[in-house]
Protein backbone atom coordinates (compact mmCIF):
# COMPACT_ATOMS: atom_id res chain seq x y z
CA UNK A 1 0.00 0.00 0.00
CA UNK A 2 2.85 2.36 0.77
CA UNK A 3 4.24 1.76 -2.72
CA UNK A 4 1.14 3.53 -4.11
CA UNK A 5 1.25 6.54 -1.82
CA UNK A 6 2.73 7.73 1.44
CA UNK A 7 0.26 10.59 1.90
CA UNK A 8 -1.66 9.95 5.16
CA UNK A 9 -4.94 11.25 3.69
CA UNK A 10 -4.79 8.89 0.73
CA UNK A 11 -3.72 5.96 2.90
CA UNK A 12 -6.67 6.58 5.23
CA UNK A 13 -9.02 6.78 2.24
CA UNK A 14 -7.72 3.40 1.07
CA UNK A 15 -8.14 2.01 4.59
CA UNK A 16 -11.74 3.23 4.67
CA UNK A 17 -12.51 1.53 1.36
CA UNK A 18 -10.88 -1.74 2.43
CA UNK A 19 -12.62 -1.78 5.81
CA UNK A 20 -16.04 -0.84 4.43
CA UNK A 21 -15.85 -3.63 1.84
CA UNK A 22 -14.67 -6.09 4.50
CA UNK A 23 -17.56 -4.95 6.71
CA UNK A 24 -20.01 -5.86 3.94
CA UNK A 25 -19.00 -9.52 4.18
CA UNK A 26 -17.58 -10.11 7.68
CA UNK A 27 -18.87 -9.41 11.14
CA UNK A 28 -17.01 -6.75 13.10
CA UNK A 29 -15.04 -9.00 15.43
CA UNK A 30 -13.70 -11.18 12.62
CA UNK A 31 -12.83 -8.21 10.44
CA UNK A 32 -11.00 -6.46 13.28
CA UNK A 33 -9.04 -9.60 14.13
CA UNK A 34 -8.02 -10.07 10.48
CA UNK A 35 -7.41 -6.50 9.30
CA UNK A 36 -6.11 -4.56 12.31
CA UNK A 37 -2.75 -6.36 12.55
CA UNK A 38 -2.28 -5.84 8.82
CA UNK A 39 -3.29 -2.19 8.56
CA UNK A 40 -2.12 -0.71 11.88
CA UNK A 41 1.64 -0.90 11.11
CA UNK A 42 1.01 0.89 7.82
CA UNK A 43 -0.99 3.56 9.64
CA UNK A 44 1.84 3.98 12.14
CA UNK A 45 4.36 4.42 9.31
CA UNK A 46 2.40 7.33 7.83
CA UNK A 47 1.94 8.94 11.25
CA UNK A 48 -1.65 8.04 12.17
CA UNK A 49 -2.28 7.94 15.93
CA UNK A 50 -3.23 4.41 17.14
CA UNK A 51 -6.32 5.72 18.96
CA UNK A 52 -7.44 7.54 15.83
CA UNK A 53 -6.91 4.39 13.77
CA UNK A 54 -8.96 2.38 16.27
CA UNK A 55 -11.87 4.83 16.15
CA UNK A 56 -11.84 4.80 12.34
CA UNK A 57 -11.77 1.00 12.34
CA UNK A 58 -14.76 0.74 14.67
CA UNK A 59 -16.82 3.26 12.70
CA UNK A 60 -16.07 1.49 9.42
CA UNK A 61 -17.23 -1.84 10.79
CA UNK A 62 -20.28 -0.24 12.40
CA UNK A 63 -21.33 0.88 8.93
CA UNK A 64 -20.69 -2.67 7.72
CA UNK A 65 -23.05 -4.05 10.36
CA UNK A 66 -26.02 -2.22 8.80
CA UNK A 67 -25.29 -2.82 5.12
CA UNK A 68 -26.23 -5.89 3.09
CA UNK A 69 -25.43 -8.67 2.31
CA UNK A 70 -24.32 -9.73 5.80
CA UNK A 71 -25.40 -6.73 7.90
CA UNK A 72 -26.28 -8.57 11.08
CA UNK A 73 -28.01 -5.55 12.59
CA UNK A 74 -30.39 -5.48 9.61
CA UNK A 75 -31.52 -8.99 10.43
CA UNK A 76 -32.06 -8.07 14.07
CA UNK A 77 -34.10 -5.04 12.97
CA UNK A 78 -36.10 -7.30 10.62
CA UNK A 79 -36.97 -9.66 13.47
CA UNK A 80 -37.95 -6.86 15.83
CA UNK A 81 -39.97 -4.82 13.32
CA UNK A 82 -41.37 -7.77 11.37
CA UNK A 83 -40.50 -5.98 8.12
CA UNK A 84 -38.72 -7.25 5.02
CA UNK A 85 -35.00 -6.73 4.41
CA UNK A 86 -35.73 -4.19 1.68
CA UNK A 87 -37.98 -2.12 3.96
CA UNK A 88 -35.47 -2.15 6.80
CA UNK A 89 -32.57 -1.27 4.49
CA UNK A 90 -34.55 1.57 2.93
CA UNK A 91 -35.27 2.93 6.40
CA UNK A 92 -31.55 2.69 7.30
CA UNK A 93 -30.29 4.59 4.24
CA UNK A 94 -30.35 8.03 5.93
CA UNK A 95 -28.50 6.57 8.92
CA UNK A 96 -25.89 5.00 6.64
CA UNK A 97 -25.41 8.35 4.90
CA UNK A 98 -24.91 10.14 8.22
CA UNK A 99 -22.50 7.45 9.43
CA UNK A 100 -20.45 7.80 6.23
CA UNK A 101 -20.38 11.57 6.66
CA UNK A 102 -19.24 11.16 10.27
CA UNK A 103 -16.60 8.66 9.11
CA UNK A 104 -15.21 11.15 6.62
CA UNK A 105 -15.14 13.94 9.20
CA UNK A 106 -13.50 11.77 11.86
CA UNK A 107 -10.99 10.37 9.37
CA UNK A 108 -9.76 13.77 8.23
CA UNK A 109 -10.11 15.72 11.51
CA UNK A 110 -8.11 13.51 13.89
CA UNK A 111 -8.37 15.73 16.97
CA UNK A 112 -12.08 14.81 17.21
CA UNK A 113 -11.14 11.29 18.25
CA UNK A 114 -7.89 12.01 20.09
CA UNK A 115 -8.54 15.06 22.26
CA UNK A 116 -10.16 13.19 25.18
CA UNK A 117 -7.49 10.46 25.38
CA UNK A 118 -4.82 13.17 25.16
CA UNK A 119 -6.30 14.78 28.29
CA UNK A 120 -6.11 11.50 30.18
CA UNK A 121 -2.65 10.41 29.06
Domain that holds residue 60: 8-110
In percent, how much of the chain has pLDDT > 70?
Answer: 98
pLDDT digits (tens, 9 = 90+) for 62-80: 998 888 888 888 889 999 9
The total number of structural domains that make up the chain: 1
Q: Which residues of 65-75 are buried (b: 16+ CB within 10 A; e: fewer)?
A: bbbeeebeebe
Does residue 120 belong to any structural domain of this protein?
no
Q: What is the pTM of this model?
A: 0.85
Does residue 119 belong to any structural domain of this protein?
no
Of 93, 74, 94, 97, which is closest to residue 84 (Cα–Cα)?
Answer: 74
Looking at the predicted structure, is the pLDDT value of residue 2 above 90? no
Does residue 115 belong to any structural domain of this protein?
no
pLDDT digits (tens, 9 = 90+) for 26-64: 888 999 999 999 999 999 999 999 999 999 999 999 998
pLDDT at position 50, please? 92
Amino acid sequence: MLSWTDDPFQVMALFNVVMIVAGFFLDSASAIIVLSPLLQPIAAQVGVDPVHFGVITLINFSVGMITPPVGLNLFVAMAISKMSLQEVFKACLPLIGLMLLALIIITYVPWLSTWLPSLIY
